């Protein structure tokens, strides 16, 4: 019997396994009262958690970090949706992009049409991009640091149109968490697994209070 | 003696003074539209103290008759009253008379008729004063009956008024005035569409004649709904789909709901919040039907998706539609654990494996991790082709499921300190054991 040694040694502490059990979190989404809510679950089974911070107009999560837009501020969030930094920002809603490693990359301010790079020192305005009408998402930044702008009807945007929902009913597409996109349509809200394209209905957040 | 007997018989048979007609003298019947008929009741009374034999009861003239005339001879006891009907059935307009003969009693009968077309409904005659009953019909559904006016007289007729009132309306009637030669007829329909349950009424006016029109409207029982499942068998962590079919197209707009309850198969377990309709976020969802629908509408769709959760149990669906209530059950059977996703990552201090999955029995016990090198050989401990690294996590899972409140879902992160050469660990496979057996994940590559 052939046997060879590798320079690797594994050690598993049984007790540690118990400490690492947790609720599976797919990401975060906004409810109808503009509050951040964790989305627990997996393919075919999603449950919304208790509401967190409120008065949020736009939200996206990469799984490692989050971006939230209130009326006057852009918030950088950690993986648990706690605020790390806050920047003054133009009013209104925003669209967000993350780097491939999940760190914040870009923010597009819908009201002013300004696009800004998100850095450790704050927002760095970029030249006004030419955006197609009706776009819904700034996707994950590519290797050159350029935000991929995905539109609801773009042919090069395979991840932003659910196969069972025509593109003209899509209201918004954004990142829900690591490996998940959230697609809001007039027919309902879907979670789309980025890797496989499989889609599932997301539970409707509770009604506006 | 024989003479006395004959005299007695003659006395009994010849006592007209004992009999009387009421009314007496001249009997006048109500004026009637030919060829309708009118009737009057007449009483023949034996006012004497002895019985009398009535030999005949008749009336002359072709327009008169006694439809209920008794067979004669007939014995009338003392004080007995014999009612009968005198009917006047003119075939033409004019004044008519006849003699009513009751034994030796006579009375004059007078009657008058006016010219008018005869009314027929669905082929049958309707006499004045007459009514046409449309019967019991369904609310909101039009009902129509066919009418005709025929001139059965020997003279031409003119109709100046032909109208339906109340809840009824005339359909396909010829324009007025209408001239009807002897033997001619016209046809038309009368329709009603009662929108509320209850009685509906009106009248058909033909010149100065009026015929009552009536009917009863009743709500039809709504069609029977039935829950139709897309999947006859379901399992945990599944978004399945149901629709509600109707036994026949809906006639009116209506609304209902489908609710479902979750019955755990294992005592002592907490519920499962994942059992819900995503479209409502709850275990209840409403639907509507519009006229003509054979499938209920859930918003813009003809179906409703539902989640089966991550706990074994019975999904008991209850449909409510009007007074109808029915249930249907889907069973989510106990199963081996399900692994939805494995994320294997390298870090400076070692490697980490995150397992996202579910155990619908909440009885997970043992975990086994099998690592692979770039050549696909198993790598465990410090040997190639070694056995899997096994962990008894019974207590850990038990404690987690006691408090998680999320059904059978879990995310498990296992960290493996590695001394040197972690980059040579290329993949991992995870086995997870619960009360139903062992689940084997696919091999996942490290990132």
Calculate how close chain A gets to B258, using CA atoms only, in Å: 16
Residue B185: which H helix or E strand, with range? Answer: strand B185-192
Distances (CA, A) of A205 to A58, B156, B379: 15, 80, 45
For residue A7, the chain B residues in CB contact (below 8 A) are 419-421, 424
Q: Which helix (H) or strand (E) holds B75?
A: strand B74-76
**CB atoms A8 and B406 under 8 Å:** no
| CB contact (8 A) between residue A203 and residue B276 | yes
SS3 B276: coil
Q: Nearest CA to CA, how far is B272 from chain A (Å)?
A: 10
CB A142 within 8 A of CB A156: no
Please identify among residues 146-175 of chain B the ones whose CB lies closer than 8 Å to any CB of chain A.
none
Q: Do residues A150 and A158 touch, judged by C-beta distance below 8 A?
A: no
Using the Cα atoms of residue A183, residue A184, residue A187 and residue A191 in order, give the sign of their dihedral.
Answer: positive
Residues of A in contact with B281 (CB under 8 A): 48, 203-206
Is the pLDDT at A167 greater than 70? The verdict is: no
Closest residue in B to A40 (Cα) is: B406
Count of A–B CB contacts within 8 Å?
163
Q: Is B271 on the interface with A (CB under 8 A)?
A: no
Question: In chain A, how long is the greatest CA-to-CA distance?
Answer: 70
Asked if this assembly's ipTM is beyond 0.85, the reply is no
- Interface probe, candidates A2, A4, A10, A196, chain B, greatest B C-beta count within 10 A: A10
CA distance B250 to chain A (A): 24
DSSP structure string for chain A? ----B-S--B---HHHHHHTEE--EEEEEE-TTS-EEEEEEETTEEEE----S---SEEEE-SS-EEEE-SSEEEEE-TTS-EEEEEE--SS-EEEEE-TTS-EEEEEETTTTEEEEEETTEEEE-PPP---TTEEEE----TTSPPPEEETT-TT-TTSS-TTS-GGGEEEEEEEETTEEEEEETTEEEEEETTT--EEEPPPPPPP-
Judge whether B113 is closer than 8 Å to chain A, CB to CB. Answer: no
* A183/A136 Cα distance (integer angstroms): 10
Question: Which positions ≥6 away from B282 have C-beta within 8 Å?
Answer: B276
Mean pLDDT in chain A? 75
> Average of pLDDT values for A81-96?
91
Cis peptide before B177 (omega within 30 of 0): yes
**Does B270 reach chain A within 8 Å, measured CB to CB?**
no
- Any CB–CB contact under 8 A between B280 and chain A? yes
Gap between the Cα atoms of A34 and A59, Å rounded: 9
pLDDT tens for A102-125 read: 888 888 888 887 888 888 788 888
CA A162 to chain centre: 16
Q: Which residues of A touch B412 (CB under 8 A)?
A: 17, 20-22
Give the list of residues 6+ apart from residue A108 with CB closer than 8 angstroms, or none. Answer: A94, A95, A96, A97, A114, A115, A116, A129, A131, A138, A147
Of A134 and B76, the one with more pLDDT: B76
Q: Tell if the CB–CB gap between B371 and A10 is shorter than 8 Å.
A: yes
Tokens of B440: 């084997």
* Residue B12 near residue B53, CB atoms below 8 Å: yes
Minimal C-alpha gap between A145 and chain B (Å)? 21
DSSP class of residue B353 equals E
> Which secondary structure element, helix H or strand E, spans residue B400, and what is its range?
helix B394-404
Positions of chain B with pLDDT lower than 50, given as ranges? 1-15
pTM given for the model: 0.66
Q: Which of B358, B380, B397 sits opposite A10 (nearest CB)?
A: B380
The per-residue pLDDT for B17 is: 58
For residue range B164-223, list pLDDT tens digits in order.
999 999 998 889 899 999 999 999 999 999 999 999 999 999 998 899 999 999 987 778
- Output DSSP code: residue B277: B
Judge whether B420 is closer than 8 Å to chain A, CB to CB: yes
Q: Do A6 and B278 touch (CB under 8 A)?
A: no
Least CB–CB distance from B412: residue in A8, A21, A179: A21
Helix (H) or strand (E) holding B21: strand B19-22
Give the tens place of pLDDT for each residue, A185-199: 777 888 888 888 788
Is the predicted pLDDT of residue A205 greater than 60, yes or no? yes
Q: A12–B391: do the CB atoms touch at under 8 Å?
A: yes
Sheet holding B143-150, edge to edge: B124-126, B118-121, B143-150, B185-192, B168-171
Backbone angles phi, psi at B2, to 5 degrees: -60, -40
B276 touching chain A per CB within 8 A = yes
Q: Do A42 and B379 touch (CB under 8 A)?
A: no
- Measured between CB atoms, does B423 come within 8 Å of chain A? no
pLDDT score at B359: 97
Please report residues of B whose CB lies closer than 8 A to that of A48.
281
Residue B428 corresponds to which tokens in the numbers above? 């991992």
Among the partner-chain residues B391, B396, B406, the one whose CB lies closest to the CB of A23 is B406
**388-407 of B, contacting A, C-beta below 8 A:** 389, 391-393, 395-397, 399-400, 404, 406-407
Min Cα–Cα distance to chain A from B292, Å: 23
Cβ distance of A200 and B239 shorter than 8 Å: yes
Number of Cβ atoms within 10 Å of the Cβ of B137: 18
- State yes or no: pLDDT of A13 exceeds 50: no
Which residue among B236, B382, B424 places its CB closest to the CB of A9?
B382
For B375, residues 6+ apart whose C-beta sits below 8 A from its C-beta are none
Using CB atoms, pick whichever of B356, B407, B421 lies closest to residue A7. B421
């Amino acid at each position: 019997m052939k046997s060879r040694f590798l320079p690797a040694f594994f050690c598993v502490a049984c007790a540690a396994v118990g400490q690492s059990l947790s609720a599976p979190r797919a990401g975060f989404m906004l409810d109808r009262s503009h509050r951040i809510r964790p989305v627990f679950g997996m393919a075919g089974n999603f449950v919304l958690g208790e509401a967190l911070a409120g008065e949020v107009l736009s939200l996206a999560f990469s799984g490692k970090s989050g971006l939230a837009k209130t009326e006057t501020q852009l918030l950088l969030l950690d993986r648990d949706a706690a605020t790390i930094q806050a920047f003054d920002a133009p009013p209104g809603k925003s669209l967000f992009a993350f780097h491939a490693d999940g760190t914040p990359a870009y923010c597009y301010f819908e009201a002013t049409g300004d696009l800004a790079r998100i850095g450790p020192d704050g927002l760095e305005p970029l030249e006004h991009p030419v955006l197609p009408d009706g776009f819904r998402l700034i996707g994950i930044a590519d290797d050159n640091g350029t935000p991929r702008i995905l539109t609801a009807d773009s042919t090069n945007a395979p991840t932003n149109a659910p196969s069972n929902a025509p593109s003209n009913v899509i209201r918004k597409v954004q990142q829900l968490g690591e490996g998940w996109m959230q697609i809001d349509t007039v027919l309902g809200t879907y979670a789309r697994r980025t890797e496989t394209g499989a889609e599932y209905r997301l539970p409707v957040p509770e009604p506006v209070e | 003696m024989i003479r006395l007997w004959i005299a007695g018989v003659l006395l009994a048979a010849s006592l007209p003074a004992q009999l009387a007609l009421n009314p007496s003298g001249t009997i006048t019947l109500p004026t009637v539209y030919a060829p309708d008929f009118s009737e009057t009741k007449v009483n023949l009374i034996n006012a004497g103290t002895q019985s009398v034999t009535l030999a005949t009861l008749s009336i002359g003239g072709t327009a008169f008759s006694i439809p209920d005339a008794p067979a004669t001879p007939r014995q009338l006891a003392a004080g007995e009253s014999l009612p009968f009907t005198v009917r006047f059935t003119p075939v033409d307009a004019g004044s008519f008379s006849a003699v009513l003969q009751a034994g030796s009693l006579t009375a004059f009968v007078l009657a008058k008729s006016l010219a008018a077309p005869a009314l027929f409904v669905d082929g049958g005659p309707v006499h004045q004063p007459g009514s046409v009953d449309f019967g019991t019909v369904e609310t909101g559904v039009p009902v129509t009956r066919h009418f005709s006016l025929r001139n059965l007289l020997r003279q031409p007729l003119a109709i100046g008024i032909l109208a339906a009132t109340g809840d009824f309306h005339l359909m396909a009637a010829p324009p007025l005035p209408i001239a009807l030669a002897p033997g001619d007829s016209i046809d038309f329909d009368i329709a009603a569409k009662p929108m509320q349950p209850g009685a509906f009424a009106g009248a058909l006016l033909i010149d100065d004649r009026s015929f009552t029109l009536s009917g009863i409207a009743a709500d039809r029982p709504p069609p029977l709904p039935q829950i139709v499942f897309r999947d006859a068998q379901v399992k945990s962590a599944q978004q399945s789909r149901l629709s509600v079919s109707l036994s026949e197209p809906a006639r009116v707009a209506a609304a209902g709901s489908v609710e479902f309850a979750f019955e755990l198969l294992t005592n002592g377990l907490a519920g499962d919040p994942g059992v819900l309709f995503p479209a409502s976020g709850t275990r209840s969802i409403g639907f509507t039907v519009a006229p003509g629908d054979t499938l209920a509408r859930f918003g813009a769709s003809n179906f409703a998706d539902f989640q089966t959760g991550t706990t074994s149990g019975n999904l008991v669906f209850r449909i409510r539609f009007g007074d109808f209530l029915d249930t249907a059950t889907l069973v989510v059977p106990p199963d081996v654990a399900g692994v939805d996703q494995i994320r294997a990552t390298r870090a400076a201090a070692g490697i980490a494996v995150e397992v996202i999955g579910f155990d619908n029995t909440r009885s997970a016990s043992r975990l086994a991790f099998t690592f692979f090198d770039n050549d696909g050989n198993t790598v465990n401990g410090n040997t190639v082709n070694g056995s899997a690294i096994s962990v008894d996590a019974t207590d850990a899972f038990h404690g987690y499921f006691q408090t998680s409140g999320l059904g059978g879902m879990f995310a498990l992160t296992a960290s493996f300190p590695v001394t040197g050469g972690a980059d040579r660990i290329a993949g991992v496979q995870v086995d997870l054991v619960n009360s139903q057996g062992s689940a084997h994940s696919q091999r996942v590559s490290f990132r």
